[in-house]
A and B are shown apart, each in its own frame.
Chain A
Amino acid sequence: GQNIDQPTEMTATEGAIVQINCTYQTSGFNGLFWYQQHAGEAPTFLSYNVLDGLEEKGRFSSFLSRSKGYSYLLLKELQMKDSASYLCAGETGNQFYFGTGTSLTVIP
């Protein structure tokens, strides 16, 4: 299978920066995607990387190193509404393989 690993839980303070890591053990991914999922809701797309490097989209940035099988999602200026699960997914052959998600709690 496609092993994608993420930390289970993280806690960070409002206004701070948090980095959520994702590692994977396959060389076949065409792209690496990040989704946000609030409790009881559907996942929503945040960011993706195809090439190595950093992609920035407002408060959210995502980084990919294909040679190291490593990605991270960076959230800046944390807000209480950022409390959610963050899902990392690799795509190959039009199939997506998801990690189990990282539950982020933002505290005042």
Chain B
Amino acid sequence: DAGITQSPRHKVTETGTPVTLRCHQTENHRYMYWYRQDPGHGLRLIHYSYGVKDTDKGEVSDGYSVSRSKTEDFLLTLESATSSQTSVYFCAIRGTGEKNQPQHFGDGTRLSIL
């Protein structure tokens, strides 16, 4: 298994509260990604990082922010959660040692916003 851990695995919270999801890797990979997965939409990229303090937006970045202060950790924050952000969130990592490396995914975080 790729050394990637997401926390928490499940969370229920209320609309308007801040939420932070953590992705931790032990592979020293450069690239880290946050996706959300919803029925009928598949996996959609929220934000990704290509190095410490280097991040960029994906296709569904509104309402989300990220931070990467060290190689191993990539945090996803919902500043003020809304019910539309109820989803399963996956973190992924990707090495760059060899071209066309695949992504490897964490086990996911199931987030419910009530």
A45 touches B42 (CB 8 A): no
Does A33 reach chain B (CB closer than 8 Å)?
yes
Does B68 reach chain A (CB closer than 8 Å)?
no
Scoring A residues 17 to 32 as 1 if CB is less than 8 Å from chain B, else 0, what string do you get?
A: 0000000000000110
B106: which A residues are within 8 A, CB to CB? 42
Quick one: which of B42, B94, B104 contacts A94, CB cutoff 8 A?
Answer: B94
Give A50 Cβ to nearest chain B Cβ, in Å: 5
Q: Given that A48-B102, A94-B94, A95-B48 are known contacts, is A42 also in contact with B107, CB under 8 Å in the complex?
A: yes
B42 touches A41 (CB 8 A): no
A98 touches B103 (CB 8 A): no
Number of interface residues of B (CB under 8 A): 23
Quick one: which of A1, A31, A45 contacts B59, CB cutoff 8 A?
Answer: A1
CA distance A87 to B58 in the complex (A): 19
Give A101 Cβ to nearest chain B Cβ, in Å: 6
Number of interface residues of A (CB under 8 A): 23
B50 touches A95 (CB 8 A): no
Does A69 reach chain B (CB closer than 8 Å)?
no
A42 touches B94 (CB 8 A): no
Please give me the residue from chain B that is nearest to A93 by CB atom. B56
Quick one: which of A1, A33, A41, A95 contacts B102, CB cutoff 8 A?
Answer: A33
A87 touches B59 (CB 8 A): no
Does B90 reach chain A (CB closer than 8 Å)?
yes
Residues of A within 8 A of B (CB): 1, 30-31, 33, 35, 41-45, 48, 50, 87, 89, 91, 94-101
